Amino acid sequence: MKSCCSRMPTSRKTKPNRAASISDVARESGVSIFTVSAVVNNKSHVGKALRGRELLLSKRVDGILLTKAAGDFSPALRQMIEEVNIPFVLVMRTYPQLTKDAVISDDYQGAYEAVCHLARAGRRRIGLVSGPLKISNAKERWRGFRHALEVSKLPYEPALVVEGDYRIESGFRAGHSLLSHGPDGIYVANHLMTIGLLKAVEEMGLRCPEDFGLVSFDDYPWLSVFRPRLTTVELPKHRLGSEAAELLIQRMAGNDGKPVLKKLLPELRIRESCGFAQFVASSHSRQAPSGPETVTAVDK
């Protein structure tokens, strides 16, 4: 997916009390946008990549925000990026093949906070359903998971780590594989795999958070239909878009310099799926000192 900008910018105004979107930044800077979506990751789609290049050139595009689906860059896509010779800003993911400006979420920190919260909820055998580990954000979420286990002095068990592909079906398969080993906590690296995992949970007759705690990466309003309500790591979606657009507009205006990497912090949204409240309540009940025995005399 590519958001493309044309026309030179004017001064930008701020918009209080709401998160700016790419459209907001573009409109307030006097920049028009349009979006191109194409699958160009294998040989059968080289033609789409070339048509994409022709479209960009025909629209006289001045800059591109690039967010790409999972997978390697095809030679055709790399060639297109080099040939159009205009500013690019990567959004959400970085790529070894490209040295470009990028605005991403701090996926390492988000995963670290998620797993630490599971540990605080008393979970001691914590598993992971990761994304494809050749992708930058999946690798960072895996790294955060490992560090949180170390800091919490919990074991890393290879049998409790399953690599998925960010799709529902892979979450379903991972759920069956992972849950058969009896983890008491699971961190899932995106929301679609969480849906698949919950389908596996239902098939296996398990309960969350009674049998295991769960944290999912990324938050959407429709996730509120699940019970228990899911604890999630929310990505700063609007800020990712607006800051990427601002950076691109600066480049379009001639602000040259070394490539910039911006990391934005996600937010841990604590709800019910980790069982934290139950864990705290049971801990307090175990620790509460027993009071003196009370004898009530009854006249007969």
Between 70 and 9, whose confidence is greater? 70
Q: What is the pLDDT of residues 64-78, one digit of tens each?
A: 888 876 666 677 777
The pLDDT assigned to 268 comes to 96
pLDDT of the residue at 279: 84
Kindly state the helix (H) or strand (E) to which residue 101 belongs, with its residue range.
strand 101-105
Element (H, E) at 111: helix 107-120
DSSP 95: -
**Segments making up each domain of the chain, as ranges:** 2-105+237-264, 107-234+267-277
26 pLDDT tier (thresholds 50, 70, 90):
low
Hey, which of 84-88, 206-210, 226-230 has the most confident mean pLDDT? 206-210
Q: Does 96 or 266 have the greater pLDDT score? A: 266
Q: What is the Cα–Cα distance from 146 to 115, expressed in whole angstroms?
A: 9
- Report the pLDDT averaged over residues 99-110: 94
pLDDT of residue 47 exceeding 80: no
| Contacts with 125 (C-beta within 8 Å, 6 or more apart), sequence order | 154, 155, 157, 160, 182, 183, 184, 185
Short-list 255, 256, 259, 241, CA closest to 9: 255
The phi and psi torsions of 148 (rounded to 5 degrees) equal: -65, -40
107-234+267-277 maps to CATH 3.40.50.2300: yes
CA nearest neighbour of 109 among 234, 274, 244, 259: 234
Which of 17-26, 182-191, 269-278 holds the top average pLDDT? Answer: 182-191
**Would you say 88 and 68 are in contact if contact means Cβ atoms under 8 Å apart?**
no
Could you tell me if 220 and 190 are in contact, meaning their C-beta atoms sit under 8 angstroms apart? no
Domains 2-105+237-264 and 107-234+267-277 share a fold: yes
Mean pLDDT estimate for the chain: 80
Question: pLDDT tens digits for 217-242?
Answer: 988 777 778 889 999 999 998 899 89
Of residues 235 and 96, which shows the higher confidence score? 235
Q: Of all helices (H) and strands (E), which one includes residue 120?
A: helix 107-120
- Of 261, 187, 269, 205, give the one whose Cα is nearest residue 236: 269
Tokens 């849950």 belong to: 179
Backbone φ and ψ for 194, nearest 5 degrees, come out as: -65, -40
Residues 30 and 144: their CA atoms lie apart, in Å, by 40
Reference 213, options 131, 123, 140; nearest CA is: 123
CB 46 within 8 A of CB 74: yes
Better pLDDT: 156 or 3: 156
Q: Which listed CATH number (3.40.50.300, 3.10.450.50, 3.40.50.2300, 1.10.10.920) goes with 2-105+237-264? A: 3.40.50.2300
Least confident of 113-122, 171-180, 237-246: 237-246
Asked whether residue 104 carries a pLDDT value surpassing 90, the answer given is yes
User: What phi, psi does 255 have (nearest 5°)?
Assistant: -80, 90
